[in-house]
Amino acid sequence: MGSPTVTQVADGTYLVGGTEVNWIVLTEGDAVTLIDTGYPGDEELVVESLRVLGHRPEQIAAVLITHAHIDHVGSLPGLLRRGAFPVHTSEQEARHARREFLEQATALDIVKRIWRPGHLRWSLAISRAGASRHVSVPEARPFPGAGPLDLPGRPVPVLTPGHTSGHTCYHLPEVGALVTGDALITGHPTSRFSGPHLVAPFFSHDPAATLAALTVLEPLDADLILPGHGPAHRGPVKQAVALARERATPAARKPRGR
């Protein structure tokens, strides 16, 4: 299973690396906000990352979801068995987390690309972490209100539909950071890029909308990007968005279904 990689990136703000995916821990006194939770097999890594920071699952004030793909909500059912806490995301993504519908790359999507560099090693790693399991989060609910959430880190939800219909980023104005989930990443075993870029189009429900959603991020006041995949990136969000646009493939510019 290995160990999680816990990196403090700002006051009370930690980027944690699990099985080819990140989650974010925001601390304030004895309370914790957890943003995303990795694969099903990452449950013990999530618990360990909390322990390293002096916390336990029972101290989670809430879990926030960027989007309901298996690598971002996989360990959530297990964590909910360890402690009672609310689970919040956008209204549309709450439905996705409850599996009223599913917008996720299929096993066939991955198999068709297994010959490409990095894909085989990555697919084996995520398979061991439970990528093929069915996970639903019946507890997922829409945010309780608008604006900054009354949680450690004071995260501000930013709707960025595209990668999934209800994908949500989280602005952390107090530390000048932006949690981007898969709306903007900085690295992935299947990508040839390092630094800000988009996920491969086949991972996204609507690649063109994913590209368009960068416009929402562009004006935000932040110089630290905390992505769902890859290391933290320091620099103005506007510059990161410009680089991601420059690197976008033709396939990322096509509307869904074309």
| Residue 258 belongs to some domain of the structure | no
pLDDT by 10-residue block (mean), the chain, 258 residues: 91 97 97 98 98 97 98 98 96 98 90 88 90 95 92 98 98 98 96 95 96 97 98 98 93 64
| Residue 167 belongs to some domain of the structure | yes
Domain CATH number, residue 90: 3.60.15.10
- Tell me the C-alpha distance between 258 and 200, whole Å: 16
Q: Where does residue 167 rank: exposed (0-12), middle (13-18), buried (19+ CB within 10 A)?
A: buried
Domain that holds residue 87: 5-253
Region class of 111: left (phi > 0), else alpha (psi between -120 and 50), else beta: alpha
- List CB contacts of 68: < 8 A, sequence separation 6 or more: 89, 93, 96, 97, 137, 140, 164, 166
| pLDDT of amino acid 115 | 86
The total of other beta-carbon atoms located within 10 Å of residue 14's CB is 21
- Total count of domains within the chain: 1
pLDDT, tens only, 51-75: 999 999 999 999 999 999 999 999 9
| Residue 53 belongs to some domain of the structure | yes
The total of other beta-carbon atoms located within 10 Å of residue 221's CB is 11
What pTM, to 2 d.p., does this model score?
A: 0.95
| Residue 73 belongs to some domain of the structure | yes
- Tell me the C-alpha distance between 197 and 179, whole Å: 14
- Token pair recorded at residue 178: 């932006």
pLDDT, tens only, 162-174: 999 999 999 999 9
Q: Which helix (H) or strand (E) holds 215?
A: helix 214-217
- Tell me the C-alpha distance between 184 and 238, whole Å: 12
| pLDDT of amino acid 258 | 40
Residue among 118, 25, 132 nearest 79 (CA): 25
| Residue 21 belongs to some domain of the structure | yes
